[in-house]
């Protein structure tokens, strides 16, 4: 058997006529950037999340960066981020001239450990960026309590959590702002790069929209210096089609996760856990195994494509060497990074394939 890690072609096949028509519709109008199609998607996605404003961008990293800027973050400020996430989260902080301050992750849920946030807050701290890692919401009640106690802004990184729910509210509705990525492999993926910024505040939305469009309020009305980060009409058209299926696709991911968990239950594999009240949308299905690298080699040799998200926690990466972080500073991230293994996960994965992955993994360990 040959089992891909994700299968975007299989998904395309299920909605091909609609996607083809949507793309053809864009070619017919020759309006390729921003415009009506993008507005349509922005409105639909804002409604889906339950936030007033949605602004399309070029990608999810830009979304974080522009929102940080719009929220007033700059040099001299510190922004708290989790130690284990994709580098965009901290990269965006550095890009606006602020400093990322890493906090270790929770040993069971892998999202930011809220009990370790307060010790990192200084007079320069201005914001927290929780990441709903792998599709599981961070502990937003505790996080929002800490943020309001210390008067910090919260920007949710929802790049992996489209449709995830924490205590009856979707991720993206808790903080002052939220960033989304529609990178092709995400739960809601475009056919190229795309992202979005969401918020309820009118002024923040206006500022973020201007920053992503050369500081223009209206055509040629440049009120500030901005940059170019806009959503393509074709990506918006694709995303509008795919948004209708997002909830059903997430349910399929949850079913696949349940199947995996049932089959691996009585083994030494540590399974992902979902706290009561949270809806995990399994952007990734991440297990932990001892001797991970050996298990990974066996799986790959038997045709099972896996991933590691992420092999090195951010504080240990070269760009952050200036922090002089050692494993003792982030003990959970340091241990978890050597054990995590992402198994194939996509809505179209069959039970038969899941069974094969589990059997192979059991043999490998
Ligand atoms: C994918 C991702 C991003 C940014 O995505 P791009 O659209 O590729 O720039 C940001 N944060 C996290 C946690 C991600 O997984």
Nearest to 295 by CA among 272, 267, 274, 273: 267
Biggest alpha carbon–alpha carbon distance for the chain: 64
- The rounded Å distance from CA 290 to ligand 1 centre is 28
Lowest pLDDT segment from 33-37, 82-86, 175-179:
33-37
Nearest ligand 1 atom to the CA of 131 is 13
Residue 89 beta carbon below 6 angstroms from any ligand 1 atom: yes
pLDDT for 280: 98
Model-level pTM?
0.98
What is the chain's mean pLDDT, rounded? Answer: 97
Residue 86 beta carbon below 6 angstroms from any ligand 1 atom: yes
Cα→Cα distances 262→114, 146, 259, 267, Å: 30, 36, 5, 10
Residue 59 beta carbon below 6 angstroms from any ligand 1 atom: yes
- The rounded Å distance from CA 6 to ligand 1 centre is 17
pLDDT band for position 127 (50/70/90)? very high
pLDDT for 1: 87
In this structure, which residue's CA is closest to atom 2 in ligand 1?
159
C-alpha span between 97 and 73 (Å, rounded): 8
Q: List phi, psi (to 5°) of 232.
A: -75, 145
- Report CA 292 to chain centroid distance, whole Å: 24
Nearest ligand 1 atom to the CA of 283 is 15
Residues contacting 347, CB < 8 A, separation 6+: 11, 248, 249, 250, 252, 253, 256
Per-residue pLDDT tens digits for 297-343: 999 999 999 999 999 999 999 999 999 999 999 999 999 999 999 99
- The rounded Å distance from CA 281 to ligand 1 centre is 16
In this structure, which residue's CA is closest to atom 10 in ligand 1?
88
Q: Is the pLDDT of residue 123 over 90?
A: yes
Q: Is the pLDDT of residue 30 over 90?
A: no
Contact (Cβ atoms closer than 8 angstroms) between residue 73 and residue 79: yes
Residue 181 beta carbon below 6 angstroms from any ligand 1 atom: yes
pLDDT band for position 281 (50/70/90)? very high
Per-residue pLDDT tens digits for 150-162: 999 999 999 999 9
Percent of the chain with pLDDT over 90: 98
């Amino acid at each position: 058997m040959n089992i891909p890690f994700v299968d975007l072609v299989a998904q395309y096949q299920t909605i091909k006529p609609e996607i083809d028509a949507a793309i053809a519709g864009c070619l017919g109008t020759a309006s390729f950037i921003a415009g009506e199609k993008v507005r349509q998607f922005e409105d639909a996605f804002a409604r889906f999340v339950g936030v007033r404003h949605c602004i399309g961008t070029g990608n999810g990293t830009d979304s974080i960066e522009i929102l940080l800027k719009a929220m007033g973050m700059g040099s001299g400020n510190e922004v708290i981020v989790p130690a284990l996430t994709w580098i965009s989260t901290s990269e965006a902080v550095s890009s606006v001239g602020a400093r990322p301050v890493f906090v270790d992750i929770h040993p069971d849920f892998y999202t930011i450990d809220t009990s370790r946030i307060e010790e990192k807050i200084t007079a320069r701290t201005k914001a927290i960026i929780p990441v709903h890692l792998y599709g599981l919401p961070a502990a937003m009640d505790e996080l929002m309590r800490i943020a309001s106690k210390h008067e910090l802004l919260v920007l949710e990184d929802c790049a992996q959590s489209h449709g995830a729910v924490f205590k009856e509210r979707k991720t993206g509705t808790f903080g002052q702002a939220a960033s989304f990525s529609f990178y092709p492999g995400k739960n809601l993926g475009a056919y190229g790069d795309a992202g979005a910024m969401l918020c309820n505040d009118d002024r923040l939305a206006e500022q973020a929209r201007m920053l992503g469009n050369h500081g223009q309020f209206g055509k040629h009305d440049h009120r500030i210096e901005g940059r170019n980060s806009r959503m393509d009409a074709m990506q918006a058209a694709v995303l509008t089609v795919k948004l209708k299926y997002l909830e059903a696709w997430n349910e399929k991911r949850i079913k696949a996760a349940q199947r995996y968990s049932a089959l691996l239950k009585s083994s030494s594999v540590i399974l992902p856990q979902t706290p009561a009240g949270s809806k995990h949308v399994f952007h990734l299905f991440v297990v932990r195994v001892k001797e991970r690298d050996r298990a990974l080699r066996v799986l790959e040799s038997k045709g099972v494509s896996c991933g590691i998200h992420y092999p090195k926690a951010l504080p240990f990466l070269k760009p952050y060497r200036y922090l002089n972080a050692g494993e003792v500073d982030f003990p959970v991230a340091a241990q978890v990074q050597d054990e995590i293994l992402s198994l194939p996960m996509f809505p179209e994965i069959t039970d038969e394939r899941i069974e094969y992955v589990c059997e192979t993994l059991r043999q490998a360990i």
